[in-house]
């Protein structure tokens, strides 16, 4: 108005949907801004306007003169893209001065909503523990007030949070760094134990943790946890000795599979099947012939184009070879006494054996349960070569896990990642032997048969 006061021209509101009520606080505040823009688009589009919010973090995330923070959630990035079409200036106001704050707190009856259908979210389990945590309880107050004392930028216990102060938010009295839950000290050892329950390595544990939760020096804690794991110490692999020559990466799932046997483990043999594209693992208990077991697997995933195995007698049988020929499947076997040629399957056999040994040492007496648990975690963990989980490449979506109840991660581009990973593996491989032969050259051949 001419006297400098503000007068409302119109009001707009709506009730949050069931899924929206589970958004983080910063996302609900951002949703309100997007709703207002769409409601009054005809008045705002093409005109310069001022946008006021009592969420200080949004003034940095949606600031038109700054880029979007790297770890912002996907929906926040989409909203920032929508806002880029408008000419606006965003600023922070205290809740006491925000004229919409009172109206947003009015109770609204919604009899149509069925609360029994709402799934619990693990993030609420952190609320009470966060209040009791000596450090996080203070950080919680800093974020609520929007004021950080000077000592928070200097003391070790607080400076990690102060450096991320513009990216912190609160959800039901639990602290979030963008889309990742900040875990209180009391719960960190439990989460580390849950992460390492299947004895996955450092890289997989870190990649899983970075998708769901965070605390200061989490990478160091994960490394120390694995270093102190007795089962991992007792089952460390021997270093490789030959030059690495990776197979070409197939363009689609189930195009080339690798087969091998593992065992006997507790008097049981297992057939290992590995998809070369997605790194998906299938482990079948051998109760019948190889052709019957593979036929059951092909009924689920379809017929592959190429099957690779060693020269085991089961794979050389007439029954198995006839089955492959009738279904138009190309069969490739490696040279005798050179298991490295089928390295994809051999590596998986080693992984399965090691995992089962570790789980058995952890008193998992039920081998089938231990195997199922390991396969679930392995298929839902990011693979070091592809950069994504086997389930995402196999089924184009990630298997739901307990950690998924916090927030899902994003999927990166795969093909170039695989090429870079294979080149890096080849350059860093500790092989020292390179042999070249020319036609007509005399060579020595080791004969394994008895004289």
| Separation CA 398–CA 388 (nearest Å) | 9
Residue 335 has pLDDT above 70, yes or no: no
Query: Which of these, 119, 94, 159, lies nearest to 19 by C-alpha position?
Result: 119
User: Do residues 280 and 305 make contact, with C-beta atoms less than 8 angstroms apart?
Assistant: no
- The answer to the question of residue 116 being in a domain is no
For 197-253, give the DSSP string.
TT---HHHHHHHHHHHEE-TTHHHHHHHHHHT-HHHHHTPPPPP-S---PPPPPSST
pLDDT value, residue 316: 81
406 and 276 belong to one structural domain: yes
- The answer to the question of residue 347 being in a domain is yes
196 and 135 belong to one structural domain: yes
| Separation CA 57–CA 72 (nearest Å) | 11
User: Do residues 255 and 344 make contact, with C-beta atoms less than 8 angstroms apart?
Assistant: no
pLDDT band at 430 (very low <50, low <70, confident <90, very high): low
Span 129-140, average pLDDT: 85
97 and 129 belong to one structural domain: no
User: Do residues 284 and 271 make contact, with C-beta atoms less than 8 angstroms apart?
Assistant: yes
362 and 400 belong to one structural domain: yes
Tokens of 375: 């396969």
Q: What is the pLDDT of residues 344-403, one digit of tens each?
A: 667 777 787 787 777 767 666 677 787 888 888 888 888 888 888 888 888 888 777 777
Number of structural domains the chain divides into: 3
| Separation CA 310–CA 270 (nearest Å) | 15
pLDDT value, residue 445: 78
167 and 307 belong to one structural domain: no
Residue 46 has pLDDT above 80, yes or no: yes
| Separation CA 75–CA 34 (nearest Å) | 11
Q: What is the pLDDT of residues 282-320, one digit of tens each?
A: 888 877 667 777 778 888 888 999 988 877 777 888 888
- The answer to the question of residue 277 being in a domain is yes
- 265 CB-contact burial (10 Å; exposed 0-12 / middle 13-18 / buried 19+): middle
pLDDT value, residue 69: 62
- The answer to the question of residue 265 being in a domain is yes
| Separation CA 354–CA 234 (nearest Å) | 10
Span 406-418, average pLDDT: 60
Q: What is the pTM of this model?
A: 0.47
279 and 408 belong to one structural domain: yes
- The answer to the question of residue 8 being in a domain is no
267 and 416 belong to one structural domain: yes
| Separation CA 302–CA 219 (nearest Å) | 40
Beta-carbon-side half-sphere exposure of residue 269 (alpha carbons within 13 Å)? 10
pLDDT value, residue 222: 92
Span 226-251, average pLDDT: 76
Task: Say which CATH number the domain at 279 has.
Answer: 3.30.420.10
pLDDT band at 330 (very low <50, low <70, confident <90, very high): very high
pLDDT band at 164 (very low <50, low <70, confident <90, very high): confident
198 and 130 belong to one structural domain: yes
345 and 379 belong to one structural domain: yes
pLDDT value, residue 51: 84
| Separation CA 365–CA 306 (nearest Å) | 37
Query: Which of these, 181, 25, 205, 47, lies nearest to 104 by C-alpha position?
Result: 25
Element (H, E) at 275: strand 268-275
228 and 128 belong to one structural domain: yes
Q: Which domain holds residue 76?
A: 20-104
pLDDT band at 129 (very low <50, low <70, confident <90, very high): confident
Last residue of a domain, one of 69, 104, 139: 104
Query: Which of these, 179, 99, 181, 102, lies nearest to 140 by C-alpha position?
Result: 181
Residue 61 has pLDDT above 70, yes or no: yes
- The CA R_g of the chain, rounded to the nearest whole Å, is 28
Span 127-144, average pLDDT: 84
Cis peptide before 281 (omega within 30 of 0): no
Element (H, E) at 184: none
pLDDT value, residue 71: 56
Q: List, in sequence order, every residue forming a beta bridge with 331; answer none if it has no partner.
A: 307
333's CB contacts (< 8 A; 6+ apart) are 308, 309, 310, 311, 315, 316
pLDDT value, residue 419: 78
Last residue of a domain, one of 104, 131, 151: 104
Element (H, E) at 143: helix 134-145
Distances (CA, A) of 63 to 1, 79, 82, 97, 162: 26, 12, 13, 21, 20
Distances (CA, A) of 275 to 297, 359, 375, 377: 12, 24, 14, 17
219 and 332 belong to one structural domain: no
- The answer to the question of residue 362 being in a domain is yes
426's CB contacts (< 8 A; 6+ apart) are 244, 245, 246
For 62-130, give the DSSP string.
S-TTSPPPTT--HHHHHHHHHHTTSEEEEEE--GGG-TTHHHHTS----TT--GGGPPP-GGGGGHHHH
- The answer to the question of residue 278 being in a domain is yes
Residue 49 has pLDDT above 50, yes or no: yes
393 and 262 belong to one structural domain: yes
Task: Say which CATH number the domain at 178 has.
Answer: 1.10.340.70
For 337-400, give the DSSP string.
T-GGGGHHHHHHHHHHHHHHHHHHHTT---HHHHHHHHHHHHHTS--TTTSS-HHHHHHSSPPP
- The answer to the question of residue 416 being in a domain is yes
């Amino acid at each position: 108005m001419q006297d400098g006061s503000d007068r409302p021209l119109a009001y707009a509101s709506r009730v949050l949907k069931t899924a929206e009520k589970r958004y983080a606080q910063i996302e609900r505040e951002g949703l309100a801004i997007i709703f207002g823009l769409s409601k009054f688009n005809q008045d705002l589009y093409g005109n310069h306007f001022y946008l006021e919010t009592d969420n200080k973090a949004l003034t940095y995330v949606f600031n038109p003169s700054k880029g979007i923070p790297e770890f912002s959630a996907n929906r926040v990035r989409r909203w920032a893209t929508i806002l880029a079409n408008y000419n606006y200036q965003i600023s922070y106001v205290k809740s006491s001065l925000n004229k919409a704050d009172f109206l947003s707190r009015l109770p609204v009856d919604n009899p149509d909503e069925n609360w029994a259908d709402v799934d619990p979210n693990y993030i609420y389990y952190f609320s009470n523990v966060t209040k009791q945590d000596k450090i996080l309880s203070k950080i919680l107050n800093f974020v609520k007030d929007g004021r950080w004392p000077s000592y928070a930028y200097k003391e070790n216990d607080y400076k990690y949070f102060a450096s991320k102060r513009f990216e912190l938010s609160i959800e039901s009295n639990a602290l979030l760094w963008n889309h990742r839950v900040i875990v209180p000290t009391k719960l960190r050892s439990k989460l580390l134990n849950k992460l390492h329950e299947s004895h996955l390595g450092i890289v997989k544990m870190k990649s899983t943790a970075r998708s769901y939760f965070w605390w200061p020096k989490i990478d160091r804690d994960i490394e120390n946890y694995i270093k102190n794991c007795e089962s991992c110490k007792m089952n460390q692999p021997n270093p490789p000795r030959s030059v690495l020559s990776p197979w070409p990466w197939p363009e689609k799932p189930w195009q080339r599979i690798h087969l091998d046997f593992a065992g006997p483990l507790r008097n049981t043999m297992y057939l290992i099947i590995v998809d070369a594209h997605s790194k998906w693992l299938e482990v079948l208990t051998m109760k019948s012939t190889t052709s019957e077991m593979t036929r059951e697997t092909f009924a689920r995933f379809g017929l592959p184009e190429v099957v690779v195995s060693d020269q085991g007698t089961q794979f050389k049988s007439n029954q198995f070879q006839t089955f492959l020929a009738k279904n138009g499947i190309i069969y490739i076997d490696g040279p005798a006494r050179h298991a490295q040629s089928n390295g994809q399957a051999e590596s998986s056999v080693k992984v399965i054996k090691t995992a089962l040994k570790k789980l058995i040492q952890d008193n998992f007496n039920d081998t089938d349960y231990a195997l199922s648990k390991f396969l679930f975690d392995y298929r839902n963990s990011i693979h070091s070569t592809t950069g994504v989980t086997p389930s995402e490449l196999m089924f184009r979506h990630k298997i739901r896990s307990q950690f998924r109840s916090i927030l899902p991660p994003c999927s990166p581009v795969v093909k170039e990642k695989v090429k870079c990973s294979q080149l890096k593996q080849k350059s860093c491989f500790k092989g020292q032997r390179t042999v070249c032969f020319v036609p007509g050259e005399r060579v020595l051949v080791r004969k394994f048969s008895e004289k």
